Structure 1
Amino acid sequence: MNQETKSGQIFDLPTLKRLYTFVGPYKKQFYLLILVIVLGAILAPLSPLLIKYTIDVPISSGDYGQLALMMAVMVGVLIVQGLVQFSNTYLSGWLGQYVIRDIRVQLYEKIINLRLKFFDNTPIGRLVTRVISDIETLSNVFSEGMAAMVGDIMQLVLIIAVMFYTDWRLSLISLSMIPLMLFSTYVFKEKIKDAFNEVRAAVSNLNSFVQEHITGMHIVQIFSSEDKEYEKFEKINTEHRDANIRSILYYSIYFPVADVIAAAGTGLVVWYGSKQILNENVTFGTVTAFVMFINLFFRPIRQLADRFNTLQMGIVSTDRILKLLDSDDYTVDEGTYHPETFRGKVEFKDVWFAYNDEEYVLKNLNLTVNEGETVALVGATGAGKSSVINLLSRFYDINKGHIYVDDVEVRDYELLALRRHIGVVLQDVFLFSDTIENNIRLGNTDITHERIVEAAKLVGVHEFIERLPGGYHYNVMERGSTLSVGQRQLISFVRAMVHDPKILVLDEATSSVDSETEYLIQKATETLMKGRTAIVIAHRLSTIQEADKIIVIDRGEIKEAGTHEELLEKNGFYANLHRMQYKEVLRIIS
């Protein structure tokens, strides 16, 4: 069954136990809530008993003084009940919000520390659902779920006890409708559970569709698919509407039925009680109290059906959240080595790597990049070039072999220390919905505005940034959509420069820009590479002809290595790639 639609077991004790470990920091408030719930259950049958006594004693005897006293007592009880109800609602809500705040923080911390392989296999929409929707559902477990159910059950038990203590015959008459009420509640619970599952599935489909199609809106419009996509959306939205209407229908049926059953119970009590009053077997106050008892008794039974479904959905959400929290799919950071400076030597020794099981994308790779050297990696798409930089930064861990930086294995480095000295400029530049300056700084408060401006001038984008509204405080919007591909690439280059890495990796860094922008990047690259180790990955062979060494990778293996001239003389893989690109350029020009 789909995770988004399955239902949980209400009394899943291991999950509930784990859930309530999050209450630990708020034990005082939790115990206070339990006390308030108990107090509320004790107060519930008090009002009918006071009414009974008032009718049977001061009213029957005409004692106005005692009547006034009883009225004052009942007003006091009502005030206390109101305060208890307020405390219950506020404390349960307060506790729920604080707990889900803590869980959401832990969950997000977990997510940002998971390794990239996890994100390769997990849809983004599912993670968003965990962090937002599932946790919001979880908050209802505290505000409307377990605590409220405990209060309702305690109230039912106390009311039954008081009823039988007051008059066992009227109690049996009052409870005669319970089997019918329980049956209708059970049927409602099952129906509404199915309806809620359908609603949840429809919401998931709706969210996924909207997210996917807004992200790919340019494709929709390029292929003139607006009408077709609108029809798909209308169908999904209709399913969402119908699922909600079904849940509304069940509520519309259940509550009137429950009210009729409660009214029937009240009618039986009045009928039987009236006969007993006439026979002087019970007092008028006792019958009045039982009419009130019935209302107090059936109300929590009606609410329990909703509570059960709330708790079921909360258990499912909790289970999904806990599975994510318990995930061990993260990069193990057990290294302790954290040098202040790097020399920049990189060595891959007998490295084997596969993204999935034994499907190796790198096979027995041996590669050395000396300090201050520029090495270029070339090869067809899927040859394994980008995997090299993913392994160097430990975004993925190798299956076999060793990777060294400055003759120290990368696993021995503290992860932050390793990544702090490796700067990466990717082909697909990601910019957050924030200012240009914040996208360059990325939260590093040690990077000053002056340093950012200096780097921007070196790259040649300072004037362009200054022309934008707000300059360096210009908001680039989501994914940098207000900037061109080349502009985003240049900003990412500034970002790499200000972090001053000892090892620089350019992954297709100039493949998506025009000639003028490429010239700017190449000039900035010359400045940035001075005194640094550089690994350049490129399809455009013209951009790496000056590299100290060019490595040709094919199907995860190194086929050739040497300078541009040396590789052309070999007339092998590199020479063939060079001829193919040269012919492509001539074809475009002609």
Structure 2
Amino acid sequence: MKELGYLNKYLLKYKWLIILGTVFIIISNVFQIVPAQLVRYAIDLVADNIRIHQSLSGLHLQDEFFNVFAFGILIYALLILVMALLRGIFLYFVRQTLIVMSRHIEYDLKNEIFEHYQALPLSFYRKNNTGDLMNRISEDVSRVRMYLGPAIMYGLQLITLFIMLIPIMFAISTELTWYALSPLPFLSLSIFIVNNQIERRSEEIQKSQSKLSTFVQEAFSGIRVIKSFNREQESINNFTSETERYKKQSMKLTKVQSLFHPLMLGLIGLSTILAIYAGSTQVINGNLTFGNIAEFVIYVNLLTWPVTSLGYTTSLVKRAEASQKRINEFLKTGNDIISEQNISREIEGKIEFRNVTFVYPDTGIKALKNISFTVNPGESLAIIGATGSGKSTISNLISRLFDVSEGEILIDGTPIKSYNLTKLRSQIGYVPQDVFLFSDTIYNNIGFGLADFQKEKVYQAAKDADVYNNIVAFPHGFDTRLGERGITLSGGQKQRVSIARAIVRDPKILMLDDALSAVDTKTENNILNSMKRIMKGRTSIVISHRVSSAKLANKIIVLVDGHIVEEGTHEELLSKEGIYTELYEKQVQVDEVD
């Protein structure tokens, strides 16, 4: 219960729902205990008066006696019916308080987890896979809700019913009570064992279902590849194999579940038999009445579900504790990317790297080694290098998705760690190398970074990114909804929409991370011509492995294995006849061949 203690703040928040739920449970228990006593009175009434009725045979008083006698039975029957209706009403109130409380906490907990996820640094997402993150906010929270709702509800029902009912049973007959209760602990233990088996096999089914879902998702996502390589039959065979595994796991679960009801009914029956056996002996001795026996049988049945639910509830609590432990692991993960002085101001755009070294914390790879350069406001810098040279790491550090391992980064002469993160990032436009578009309209994707959408800005950004004509050619224009990760668009269109999304914010610092790698030469030239105007007056960093994109920049640096090996303008670097010249000549030759 230590891990579940984290939820106490939510239980305290909704304490009135718990209090009301407990009151409603107590009242509902009253309305199921009292009918058992009415049944006793009714049976005793019949047993005590049946001989009198028979003795009046042939007399006119018999009919009158029967009418009075029947009327009394009718009153008891009506009272039992009213009690059942009232119990049903209050059980409804129980669920409207305790189960509703669990739904409120589920809502609050999911929001808390998601908000915490949003605050965590990029390094957290590099270490944890998406499926695990989703499971903790969905599957694990659902298991915790089962503790907050059904487990607490059944637990309160068990406790209050025992407190109210056991003294009544002992007051009637101590011996009969022990006989009636003796099988119930075995019932609870048996249900606990069976339920654990069900839980274990359910988890195996869940894993099998997860593999099956992953396989189907990959098959549908990669359907072009499957068809191109003519592998449909192999895909079908693999799917059949996965479904066969899922079927076997399901059959195992069904076999265990089939034990649940026979086991429960068998032990309940044993308890009833013992109660009747012990009770009949005392009836013969004159210590109890027939009504007492019927009353006890009802009491035993009233205790059956709460005792049965004890094993079920214990299992729910165990599962919830394991899930809450997983949730707490992430909730306790802190964000080390925090503002030291919380400076919130408009920036001019001067960027300065001073002896910056960066090592990725999760892999230990040293991406940058003692890097130093300066970009003044309004100037542009091109970073050229092969894959893995550390180009994208520089853009991640400027956006402060990571903090440097050694050295310092300054914006307008102020350490980047001093700025308010939200304010800093709101003034940076970033086009990532791995373009990601949301499953939304093109209009909303371009305007994603705007506080308030303005059509003129969105349309102009699309024109500047040379994607406007493509968009208006679609049947629904800017209202065209994109598929998952923007699959509706071609690679080049996705990159240009991503560029439009970055520039629509009118950022002080614009970073293009290999943003033109998926477009052809003609489109690249069109975008570059537009970018000249866009980049004017703002600090721009163009990251690319293509020298043609570097021509826009006032200054170029060439990275090799995390080191700056060359630095200067396009003409200066060509005159050096070094690595830059070699890259330039190779790419010119490729363009000529194309």
Give TM-score, length-normalised by structure 1. 0.91
Q: Deviations over 1:90-145 (max 9, x none)?
A: 22221111111111111111112211111111111111212222222222223321
Q: Which of residues 107, 122, 126 in structure 1 aligns to 2:128?
A: 122
Tell me if structure 1 keeps the 8 A contact 2:22–2:156: no
Q: 1:448 aligns with which of 451, 454, 477?
A: 454
**Equivalent residue, structure 2, for 1:541:** 547
Distance (Å, rounded) in 2 between the aligned partners of 1:234 and 1:318: 35
CA RMSD of aligned residues (A): 2.4
Match of 1:507 among 503, 506, 513: 513
- Please name the residue that 1:343 is paired with: 348
Give CA deviations for 1:35-89 in whole Å, capped at 9, x if unaligned.
2233334444332222213332587357646555544443332222112211122
Work out whether 1:250 is the aligned partner of 2:238.
Answer: no
CA contact (8 A) 2:450 2:504 kept: no
Out of 101, 108, 111, the residue aligned to residue 107 of structure 2 is 101
Contact 1:44 1:155 in 2 (8 A): no
Alignment of 1:192-207 (within 5 A): 192-207=198-213
Per-residue Cα deviation, 1:494-529 (whole angstroms, up to 9, x for no partner): 212210011111111111111232122112111101
Change in Cα spacing, 1:135 to 1:230, as seen in structure 2 (3 Å) is farther
Matched, 1:17 2:44: no
Cα contact 1:44–1:159 (8 A) shared by 2: no
Structure 2 Cα separation of the partners of residues 179 and 453 of structure 1: 72
Question: Secondary structure, in 3 states, of the residue corresponding to 1:39?
Answer: helix
Q: Does the alignment pair 1:526 with 2:514?
A: no
Distance 1:93 1:224, change over 3 A: farther
Which letter maps to 1:199? Answer: I
Alignment equivalent of 1:133, drawn from 133, 139, 144: 139
**Cα contact 2:192–2:314 (8 A) shared by 1:** no
Letter in 1 for 2:380: T
Paired with 2:199 and 2:411, the residues of 1 have a C-alpha distance of 57
Task: State the secondary structure of the residue aligned to 1:343.
Answer: coil
Gaps of 5+ in 1: 1-11
For this pair of structures, how many residues does the alignment match?
575
Deviations 1:314-341 (CA, angstroms, capped at 9, x unpaired): 222222222222211452234421223x
Distance, in Å, in 1 between the alignment partners of 2:336 and 2:24 is 43
Tell me the equivalent position of 2:17. 29
Q: Which residue of the partner structure matches residue 482 of structure 2?
A: 476
8 Å Cα contact 1:550-1:564 kept in structure 2:
yes
8 Å CA contact retained: 1:459, 1:523: no
Which residue of 381, 395, 414 maps to 2:387? 381
CA distance in 1, matches of 2:228, 2:9: 52
Given candidates 266, 286, 291, the residue that maps to 2:272 is 266
Does residue 155 in structure 1 map to residue 143 in structure 2? no
Specify every segment of 5 or more residues in structure 2 that has no aligned partner in the other structure, as ranges: 50-64
Quote the residue 1:4 is aligned against. Answer: none
Q: 2:173 aligns with which of 153, 159, 167?
A: 167
Provide closer, same or farther for how the CA distance between residues 456 and 197 of structure 1 changes in structure 2, counting only shifts above 3 A: closer
Change (3 A) 1:446 1:269: closer
Question: CA separation in 2, counterparts of 1:240 and 1:161?
Answer: 50
**Cα distance in 2 between the residues matched to 1:226 and 1:372:** 55
Within 5 A, what are the aligned runs for 1:176-575?
176-178=182-184, 180-329=186-335, 331-340=337-346, 342-356=347-361, 358-442=364-448, 444-575=450-581
Which secondary structure state, in structure 2, belongs to the residue aligned with residue 534 of structure 1?
Answer: strand
Residue 99 of structure 2 contacts residue 149 of structure 2 at CA under 8 Å; is this kept in 1?
yes
What amino acid is the match of 1:389? S
Question: Partner letter of residue 537 of structure 1?
Answer: I
* Contact 2:380–2:539 (8 Å) recurs in 1: yes
The Cα of 1:251 is off from its aligned counterpart by 2.2
Per mean C-alpha deviation after superposition, the further-off stretch among 218-227 and 421-430 is 218-227
- 2:53 paired residue number: none
Q: In the TM superposition, what is the alpha-carbon distance from 1:167 to its structure 2 partner?
A: 1.2
Contact 2:464–2:527 (CA under 8 A) maintained in structure 1: no
Q: What corresponds to 1:48 in structure 2?
A: 36
C-alpha separation between the residues in 1 aligned to 2:12 and 2:174?
A: 44
Post-superposition, which runs of at least 4 consecutive aligned residues in structure 1 deviate over 6 A?
none
Task: Point out the more displaced range, 391-400 or 461-470.
Answer: 461-470
CA distance in 1: counterparts of 2:394 and 2:365, whole angstroms: 16
Deviation at 1:404, TM superposition (A): 0.9
Provide the rounded CA distance (Å) in 2 between the counterparts of 1:23 and 1:429. Answer: 43
